[in-house]
Chain A
């Protein structure tokens, strides 16, 4: 086991090297601004930067916007709506990236309070795509005076935006000599803008990586400086391809510098209640984390072997739910051999959950940094599952190296994993071959080929140019250019709305099929994660139950994104007496903690109905935004059959007892009838049943969400929520 006290500090960057890079900067514009102090969690100021015109503008946030959209994701969507048109695509000059930290963001006394929300028109989905990320940029942006930031236009050359929240200056500078990959660039800019070693924690950098420029699955990294290791750490605004938008604008990085973080910077109405809740929560983590999920030891990767045991771990492009090599990459392997233990790994102050684990001085085997000993953030569960078993890979060092390069290149690990799994299945099915891949033998399990494909994406060459487009666009290419069977690719391509699935096998949970399919931005698990509640616990057996869960959880979870909070501290630990409460699955005490913190900051009381209503305004607005962009209807909520049932004979036969049994228990055949059926007949009946169940689920969920059966929010619901603005009604009125 590696302990933090035994980890050597990382080497920094020589001062002369930094000077050479900084001397090459040319300042394009600079402003000085009045720093308005925060009042009850809000600055009520908004920053807009237009890189085409090198203009920096500060405006007041309309109180009506604050009332309806709360902050965070709500602000991101509202401000993005106003920048774009229905014809706007990811690379249109008017497309913008909006960011907002939310009113509770920057609280220091509680875990998971440093989240920034981002939104842009996605290159994968062509719709507004929100994503959330830790790291210090969002809180420091707010402490520097801004509740939101819009990045728009396109710079003529690579530039950085530098915000100094103490000197109250904002500048746009060229930055030609800095490297592009995040683990290097993040460090260069942190060192460059920090006054001294102690000041590095006050500098936050936002940057993508060299592959983000070329790939639709490009991601944006947010840094924080880790003084215990002496290294810059990376957190990811991972999903939706926003890194590609960022680099398309020729933004190399954003830097925000602010020193003086204290517990009262949000101007709390009642700091005492926040202190009490914070202390109680930290003690809970101290006492119980070891007995529960072990988040401080291994982060979310604690569930790798859990998912395997319950047949949910995606394996070989979601064909199966468990991997025979699990013992090679179960969480204990990472704890015992790779992840440094005992480190303060929170990605914002006060995060005692500290799930941002890291492998230190890991020696890379491939690529441009081959031979170097680096700090690797992760793997989180999704990375472990997506880069590992879903690609048939069970080598933990391969998982770590894939994780490292995804991060530094600015690629979404989840999309990369699911996309590579799709490519591997196509390769094994004979749709792709060595001629097409330029010699890459992309069989399941070939991690060297997966890595080389990733390096090709970063170099914009070879098969990497095709792979980097994501599953949705690859399906078209494989059909048109390589003669693939379109239906087969529709069935096995694990994307919906253009986004690659996240890493849970949903075949045996109808509610989770909805949790993935009936989402605003595509199949991530940010809205509703119901597999265990449904498949294992059987707590929501009826369509009505499932519909209720698919209303409650998306609304509940949206709230975190409005306020600038992380969801993990909500339920990756529970109070000792949680099982004695009425609804253990909702972790009532932790929900009350959030109400207390909300009150402590804003002075306003909140309860569950109020919370859900706050979220629903934004949730419905996002749905309508999708419709405005030409999507967001029932037809867009269809899911690939691989997520719902066995596509191939191999899959059916691997779980034959289960599927045969369901034909009797669920579909209504007799045992004798099933015994007399051919495999193809059984597969066809299974499919017919499962696809019909999904349609019935939609019929139950839409009305619960206040939508008509085409998935359009009703005017009545929109009016009730107070989001009946003329531009909103204009979109939905013709579709009622």
Chain B
């Protein structure tokens, strides 16, 4: 699985987007999540599973003040 265009070494069968967010400790609230280019809404993070060949992007909207 690719996370933000880098190989994600901790992928395991059955993991959801929320699992990735938790494992990576992505605590920032303003995220833009795309799975294989498709936008995933916050309410669907837990139910959306990530397959081994998937391309997952979790972009933080944080550009400083």
Are A and B in contact, CB atoms below 8 Å, in the complex? yes
Residue of B nearest to A586 (CB): B63
Q: Provide the residues of chain A in CB contact with B37, threshold 8 Å.
A: none
Q: In the bound complex, do residue B60 and residue A538 qualify as a contact, i.e. CB atoms below 8 Å apart?
A: no
Per-residue 0/1 for A519-558: is the Cβ within 8 Å of any B Cβ (1 yes, 0 no)? 0000001000111110011110100000000000100000
The count of residues in chain B whose C-beta lies closer than 8 Å to any C-beta of chain A is 20
**A536 CA / B59 CA spacing, docked (Å):** 8
Nearest chain A CB to B43 CB, angstrom units: 12
Per-residue 0/1 for B53-65: is the Cβ within 8 Å of any A Cβ (1 yes, 0 no)? 0000111111111
Q: In the bound complex, do residue A585 and residue B61 qualify as a contact, i.e. CB atoms below 8 Å apart?
A: yes
Q: Provide the residues of chain A in CB contact with B30, threshold 8 Å.
A: 292-293, 574
Q: Provide the residues of chain B in CB contact with A537, threshold 8 Å.
A: 4, 57-60
Residue of A nearest to B32 (CB): A579
Nearest chain A CB to B9 CB, angstrom units: 10
**A154 CA / B29 CA spacing, docked (Å):** 50
Q: Which residues 19-62 of B have a CB within 8 angstroms of A? A: 25-30, 32, 39, 57-62
Residue of A nearest to B7 (CB): A665
Select one of A293, A300, A571 contacting B63, CB under 8 A. Answer: A571
**With known contacts A529-B64, A584-B59, A579–B25 Cβ distance under 8 A:** no
**A310 CA / B60 CA spacing, docked (Å):** 11
Residue of A nearest to B62 (CB): A532
Q: Provide the residues of chain A in CB contact with B25, threshold 8 Å.
A: 309-310
Q: In the bound complex, do residue B61 and residue A578 qualify as a contact, i.e. CB atoms below 8 Å apart?
A: yes
Which of A530, A533, A537, A538 has most B Cβ within 10 Å?
A537
Q: Is A580 at the interface (CB under 8 A from chain B)?
A: yes
Interface residues of A, dominant DSSP: helix
Q: In the bound complex, do residue A584 and residue B60 qualify as a contact, i.e. CB atoms below 8 Å apart?
A: no
Q: Is B6 at the interface (CB under 8 A from chain A)?
A: yes
**A300 CA / B64 CA spacing, docked (Å):** 9
Nearest chain B CB to A565 CB, angstrom units: 12
**A216 CA / B62 CA spacing, docked (Å):** 32
Q: Provide the residues of chain A in CB contact with B64, threshold 8 Å.
A: 525, 529, 531, 567, 571
**With known contacts A293-B30, A309-B25, A574-B30, A533–B4 Cβ distance under 8 A:** no
**A532 CA / B30 CA spacing, docked (Å):** 12
Select one of A532, A572, A578 contacting B60, CB under 8 A. Answer: A532
Which of B26, B61, B64 has most A Cβ within 10 Å?
B64
Q: Provide the residues of chain A in CB contact with B60, threshold 8 Å.
A: 532, 536-537
Q: Is A684 at the interface (CB under 8 A from chain B)?
A: no
**With known contacts A538-B6, A579-B39, A580-B39, A291–B61 Cβ distance under 8 A:** no
Q: Is A568 at the interface (CB under 8 A from chain B)?
A: yes
26 A-B contact pairs sorted by A residue (CB < 8 Å): A291-B29, A292-B29, A293-B29, A306-B27, A309-B25, A309-B26, A309-B28, A310-B28, A381-B65, A525-B65, A529-B64, A529-B65, A531-B62, A532-B63, A533-B62, A536-B4, A537-B4, A537-B57, A537-B58, A538-B5, A539-B59, A568-B65, A571-B61, A571-B65, A585-B59, A585-B61
